[in-house]
Amino acid sequence: MTPEGTRAACVHVADGTIERVAAYDSVPPGVDVVDAGELVVLPGIVDTHVHVNEPGRTEWEGFATATRAAAAGGVTTIIDMPLNSIPPTTSPDALEIKRAAAEGNVHVDVGFWGGAVPESLGHLRELHDAGAFGLKCFLCPSGVDEFPSLDLAQLRQAMEEIASFDGLLIVHAELPDRLEAALAGVVGADPFEFETYLASRPPEAEGDAVEAVVAASTATGCRAHVLHLSAAGALERVTEGAQVTVETCPHYLTLTAEEIGRGATEFKCAPPIRDAANRDRLWEALRRRAITTVVSDHSPCTPKLKSGSFLDAWGGIASVQLGLRAVWTEARSRDLSLDDVVRWMSAGPAGVAGLRRKGAIAEGMDADLVLFDPDHSVILVPTELHHRHPVTPYAGRRLDGRIVATYVRGVEVYANGEVRAQRSGRLLERGNA
């Protein structure tokens, strides 16, 4: 599957790089050959929204387990979020601590986002220069005390600073005043019913926040990226010509509020999963390319933190291993192609993060390849999951597609249900990946 289309071909790999994509029968004598047969050879999935949580909360996840799950899901590159690790990645020193924790412990290639919090304003270029792929902020409480949010004046300040070095700001876009008013409105409602949680995070919180991001980006010239959009109507706030891109996630494209039962907190995330009509509008936005990127927002925790009511449980869905299959299952039912899925999940995220050597099968790119059987179909059982705690809303759900093998820079890291023992992933920096 190449940028020019899907065809029979022979991919020549040397020293971890694709030398050329040649005719199918162009096989030099005496070389090792992997014959994919009737499988599809995809570029490795690029997941730019993964919470690894190490160091500090490694009991939630960790580099070894997160990247093992990634390899099993056909993901060859992840970009780690600056929270929920301790310390958060809000300074060059914290970035070095994060890199030290990851060194030698990753099965796939790993890069890092930095954090824009009130205390780091005025020092964001230092993180940029240290190799962070961009800076992340929250406009509402993040869920952890060590990563405070920015108000709208601080958002503008951060954008002015980031624009000065042509960096990228990625934004959790929900406005706190909207959330506070909505939460007050559900006092007394049953916190174990999903409808209560859904009412506490209304689509207007996203829409108003996206409008604020677009306005600040337009005023400062800063490039911005809206994370994990769940409310399709918020896209109406993105004006033509704005330097603002938008991502969504597999759970918003596959799951619906109508199917979430009482106390089923494995479905809780923020922003929340919304109704089926909203899901359909997200798919239409993908068709017209108003949304360019689909990433997991892999956000695991311990099973204990995931229990309780919808208002108390941790909000996050661990799905780095399942994103490709989940999106393909829904896409093919909507007469969309595997080429579309690759554009959203490989080329799109690579473009957002500035990963010049990732996201396509083409000359000069890293040999990140996935052998994929698109016609395989099976009911998911949590025991096949490789992340630390196999809690998932996809349990018992039919998923199409099977990752037969995953290669990172030409090295086989996963095959036929097993992740290889070697942890041969590399740590990436902005500008050299």
pLDDT (0 to 100) of residue 117: 98
- Angle 87-91-92 (CA atoms, 0-180°, nearest 5)? 110
Q: For residue 309, what are the domain limits?
A: 43-355+374-401
pLDDT of residue 422: 83
In-domain check, residue 292: yes
Contact in structure between 84 and 53 (CB atoms under 8 Å):
yes
Residue 209 covered by a domain: yes
Q: What are residue 43's DSSP bridge partners?
A: 369
Neighbours of 275 (CB within 10 A): 12
Sign of CA dihedral 35, 41, 43, 46: negative
Distance CA 122, CA 126 (A): 9
Average pLDDT in the chain: 97
pLDDT number for residue 287: 97
| Alpha-carbon distances, residue 262 vs 80, 230, 265, 308, 322 (angstroms) | 32, 21, 8, 11, 24
Q: How many domains does the chain have?
A: 1
**Do the domain assignments include residue 324?**
yes
Q: Does residue 8 form part of some domain?
A: no
Distance between CA 342 and CA 244 in Å, rounded? 21
Per-residue confidence band for 86, with pLDDT thresholds at 50, 70 and 90:
very high
Range with lowest mean pLDDT among 72-76, 178-182, 416-420: 416-420
Q: Which residue has the tokens 């890199």?
A: 99
The pLDDT of residue 15 is above 90: yes
Is position 289 within any domain? yes
Residues 6+ apart with CB under 8 A from 120: 90, 91, 114, 127
CATH number of residue 246's parent domain: 3.20.20.140
The pLDDT score that the predictor gives to residue 159 is 98
Q: Sheet holding 411-415: strands in order across? A: 40-43, 369-379, 398-408, 411-415, 418-419
Determine the pLDDT at residue 284.
98
- For the stretch 105-148, pLDDT in tens is 999 999 999 999 999 999 999 999 999 999 999 999 999 999 99
Judge whether 33 lies within some domain: no
Q: What does the pLDDT look like over 287-334, one tens digit per residue? A: 999 999 999 999 999 999 999 999 999 999 999 999 999 999 999 999
Would residue 217 count as lying in a domain? yes
> Over 90: is that where the pLDDT of 215 sits?
yes
In a domain, 192, yes or no: yes
